[in-house]
Amino acid sequence: MSTISKRATLIISLLSALNLYGQVSDKDTTIKNFQLEGVTIITTPKETYFLNQLPASTSIIGGAEVESGGKNSIKGLSSSVPNLFIPDYGSKITSAIYIRGIGSRFSPSPSIGLYEDNVPFIDKSAFDFEFLDVERVEILRGPQGTLYGRNALGGIVHIRTKSPFSDPGTEISLKAGTFSQYRGSFTTRNRINDRLAFSLGGFLNSDGGFFKNESTGKRIGNGYSAGGRLRVAYNIARRWKIEAANQFEFSDHSAYPYGLYNKGTGKSAAPSFNDTSSYKRVLNTTSLVVTHNAPGWRMNLISAYQYLKDTMRLDQDFTPQSVYTMSQSQKFGNFTQEVVFKSENDKNYQFVSGISAFIQNNYTDAPVLFGEDGVKRFFQDNFDRLYTTGVMPFHIKVGNNTIPVSGEYDQRSWGAAAFHQVTLRKVFTEGLSLTLGLRYEYEKQRLDYNSAMNLSLSFVRPGVPRPISMEIPAEVTGNENQSFGQFLPKFSVQYSKNNNLKLFYTSARGYKAGGYNIQMFSDIVQSKIMGGMPGGAQTEGDISDKISYKPEYNWNHEIGFSGWIIPEKFNFNASLFYIDSRDQQVVQFAGATGFGRVAKNAGKSYSTGGEISSSYKISKELEAFLNWGYTYSKFTQYTDNQNDYSGKFVPFVPRNTLNAGILYSVKINRGNFRQFNAAIRYNGAGKIYWTEQNDVAQKFYSTVDIESSVKISIFEISVWMRNFTDSEYNTFYFETTGKGFAQAGVPFNVGAGLKIKF
């Protein structure tokens, strides 16, 4: 019997065990398609429309879908929304989000904004956290700079947790799966009285790791995470409300399962490296939201502080050799403050205005250590070549077994913004509306840096009996400052009918801040030594050009349609877009060694494509859905001074994203049996080019997820299978020291869970 046949037999057995037939009553879907959730009337502090009525491409994933679909963090959302791609690779620090070809995998500043309960997460290192008590996830595609500001270049992902006043009760969830996956969590929501309520939750996760390090025999990805969340809501008076929340998470995992990639076969080998690769993080977010509801308008005062402390250890050559390693420790804190005023009435003129500010400090200690093989490769071999070719009249011997390169970096930034957006709900005729918005964003950055190394050398010259030994130090120290100021306009026109159908056109500008390449300093210090001994040096101007990069901008133009084709039965959404990007930030391996990662502004590129989202209720219990996104993204002007990439596809952008499936839910009236649910989901992405040369790519791949659950009294039992077909694909690829490395996708895995709700 084939593997697929065995798994099919297992599915039939599981469904037979769980599916208890009885009298069918009204539907109460636990596994629900987010497109049905997408038409729920939901308002936000920054929008004068209900969310489903915005002149924009929006998607909403309901809390039941988040939980049942295995989406316990943002990486689980990948491909479930058209043109949304969030690959799971490396560790929690590597959280790249792509929407319509716009994204970033390198700089700490994101290209897609992430919010939780109106609180911004302004550094990507904090993006990958555990979902807890989620009510829904909102995705707004296209630049959202007018209302959300910097680093919302491609869109917004907004996570909404359940209000403490909603659905009082307690839930306990226990899950276990293959590869030693264990999850445990609890949430409780309690109303003290009509004015005061709180919610409390916690979780503990343990992972065995999906991959094995062939060099050490240990699993990669194994470790644990734990945390909790407290949220308190208090209605101070009739028009005043205050909410305070604190969220804490600790995680510690081995990481970076990168294996050597064979361009000929398109296969990646199992990871095999000798030095420790891991990621440990403490993340704490505290927020305070004050709401005032006045006649005809509302004010939201949102304050938040986020603290992150982490340590990343990385075998940077990803081989069994001792070439070089890096240990990067961050300690950062950021404070954000925003005041938003918006109209809440039935008048034709609607507005939303606000001011915001942030301040962030980030201290990074990132030493690089060249091991024995690295000393030979990057130093001794170069000296030997210079001597044998006659460039140097003496032979240089390196006395160091290992060479440490220190690196300390203190980055500070602050910014402020003001914005105003108006909407005329009726322009010339009923249903035709116009929206105009403008924001001014200013940011200032400063970097203080110090990086140094010391080289012990012996100079041997023919005829000289004794070598001459000396220490060759090199140090790069100083500071850099840069600032950016941008206007971010928006224009939208929309025609809607009965709030069920809408046709819109939107044009908006997006902006992503510039930054610094602190990973480049080990290369700069080495170049300083190799450039001339003793006394070789680079000018401060050379350093400034290497370590800094400019902001990235784009204009997004889109036209879209959304609504019920057949009321309450067939929902259909579609859009076409064109994005013109300038000064696009891309990653290169540059410098004397070819391993220092550096962000550069690529010049110009464009992304164009379309999206379709639809759902169809086949019957009261059965529903089908389809979500497809297509992105065609190319450089129009880009050179790295060695190659011209104009006309090449932008890397890391999937040409297609596809999500389709069938959901089944039926209520049961038989004893304590309440409800049965089942779902089959098909997810696909590709083709994805990994390099600017477009010489390495991941062709279109797909996975199938299958799950079912049954409710019995206060219990819910569930079973699931991820990547049912055991599809083989790569989720990440990069090149270093002339070699290519890739991370394979997660293999077939299965698990079960028990939830208790009372």
Q: Where are the alpha helices (DSSP H) in 327-376?
A: 372-375
Assess contact for 117 and 289: CB atoms under 8 A.
yes
Q: What percent of the chain has pLDDT over 90?
A: 64
Q: Is 106's pLDDT higher than 80?
A: no
Residue with tokens 């470790």: 223
- pLDDT class of 569 with cuts at 50, 70, 90: very high
- pLDDT class of 596 with cuts at 50, 70, 90: low
Closest CA relative to residue 528, chosen from 364, 641, 410, 405: 405
What pLDDT was estimated at residue 5? 53
What gap in Å lies between CA 640 and CA 483, rounded to an integer? 25
Q: What percent of the chain has pLDDT over 70?
A: 90
Q: Is 26's pLDDT higher than 50?
A: no
Q: Is 427's pLDDT higher than 80?
A: yes
What pLDDT was estimated at residue 69? 67
What average pLDDT score do residues 545-565 get? 90
What pLDDT was estimated at residue 539? 45
What average pLDDT score do residues 48-63 get? 79
Half-sphere exposure of 727 (CA within 13 A, CB side): 20
What pLDDT was estimated at residue 530? 66
What gap in Å lies between CA 173 and CA 64, rounded to an integer? 14
Task: Tell which wins on pLDDT, 462 or 685.
Answer: 685
DSSP string, 528-544: HHHTSTTT----HHHHH
What pLDDT was estimated at residue 660? 96
Which phi-psi region, left, alpha or beta, contains residue 412 (left: φ > 0; alpha: ψ -120 to 50)?
beta
What pLDDT was estimated at residue 63? 85
Closest CA relative to residue 195, chosen from 240, 229, 230: 240
What is the average pLDDT score of the chain?
A: 87
Question: Which pair of tokens denotes residue 66?
Answer: 């988040």
Three-state DSSP state, 40: coil
pTM (predicted TM-score): 0.89
Q: What are phi and psi of 132, to 5 degrees?
A: -145, 120
pLDDT, tens only, 481-518: 999 999 999 999 999 887 778 999 999 999 999 999 88
> Looking at the DSSP assignment, which residues form a beta bridge with residue 308?
283, 332
Half-sphere exposure of 473 (CA within 13 A, CB side): 6
Q: What are phi and psi of 190, to 5 degrees?
A: -140, 135
Q: What is the dihedral of CA 131, 135, 140, 146, to 10 degrees?
A: -90
What gap in Å lies between CA 702 and CA 654, rounded to an integer? 12
For CA atoms 384, 387, 392, 397, give the dihedral sign: positive
Assess contact for 343 and 395: CB atoms under 8 A.
no
pLDDT, tens only, 683-713: 999 899 999 999 999 999 999 999 999 999 9
What pLDDT was estimated at residue 598? 73
What average pLDDT score do residues 585-596 get? 60
- pLDDT class of 21 with cuts at 50, 70, 90: very low
pLDDT, tens only, 165-198: 988 999 999 999 999 999 999 999 999 999 999 9
Distances (CA, A) of 444 to 111, 416, 544: 18, 9, 16
What average pLDDT score do residues 10-30 get? 39
What gap in Å lies between CA 449 and CA 411, rounded to an integer? 9
What pLDDT was estimated at residue 44? 66
- pLDDT class of 17 with cuts at 50, 70, 90: very low
What pLDDT was estimated at residue 105? 76
Cis peptide before 267 (omega within 30 of 0): no
What pLDDT was estimated at residue 545? 75
Assess contact for 506 and 490: CB atoms under 8 A.
yes
Least confident of 218-232, 538-552, 632-646: 538-552
What pLDDT was estimated at residue 7? 55
What gap in Å lies between CA 100 and CA 321, rounded to an integer? 39
What gap in Å lies between CA 226 and CA 231, rounded to an integer? 17
The percent helix, strand, coil of the chain (3-state, each to 5) is: 10, 55, 35
What pLDDT was estimated at residue 459? 87
Q: Which DSSP symbol is given to 398?
A: E
pLDDT, tens only, 335-386: 999 999 999 888 999 999 999 999 999 999 999 999 999 999 888 998 898 8
What gap in Å lies between CA 755 and CA 709, rounded to an integer? 10
498 by Cβ neighbours in 10 Å (0-12 / 13-18 / 19+) ranks as exposed
What pLDDT was estimated at residue 308? 97
Q: Which DSSP symbol is given to 500?
A: T
Least confident of 129-138, 454-463, 671-680: 454-463
Any residues with CB less than 8 A from the CB of 366 and at least 6 apart, and which?
326, 327, 328, 329, 407, 408, 409, 518, 519
Helix H or strand E segment including 545: helix 540-547
Closest CA relative to residue 82, chosen from 435, 560, 727: 560
Least confident of 69-83, 603-617, 729-743: 69-83
What gap in Å lies between CA 180 and CA 747, rounded to an integer? 13
Least confident of 62-66, 405-409, 586-590: 586-590
Q: What are phi and psi of 749, to 5 degrees?
A: -150, 155
- Count the neighbouring beta carbons within 10 Å of the beta carbon of residue 284: 17
What pLDDT was estimated at residue 589? 59
Closest CA relative to residue 647, chosen from 702, 603, 678, 583: 603
- Count the neighbouring beta carbons within 10 Å of the beta carbon of residue 661: 21
What pLDDT was estimated at residue 51? 67
Strand blocks (E) in 117-195: 119-121, 134-141, 155-161, 169-177, 181-191
Half-sphere exposure of 339 (CA within 13 A, CB side): 4
What pLDDT was estimated at residue 370? 92
Rounded to a whole number of angstroms, the distance between the first and last alpha carbons of the chain is 44
What pLDDT was estimated at residue 56? 85
- Count the neighbouring beta carbons within 10 Å of the beta carbon of residue 440: 14
Q: Provide the pairing of β-strand 432-460 with 395-398.
A: antiparallel
What pLDDT was estimated at residue 651? 92
- Over the range 553-591, which residues count as b (16 or more CB within 10 Å of their CB) and which as e? bbbbbbbbebbeeeeeeebbbbbebbbbbbbbbbbbbbb
What average pLDDT score do residues 92-116 get? 87
What gap in Å lies between CA 122 and CA 248, rounded to an integer? 17
Assess contact for 576 and 559: CB atoms under 8 A.
yes
What gap in Å lies between CA 200 and CA 221, rounded to an integer? 28
Assess contact for 684 and 745: CB atoms under 8 A.
no
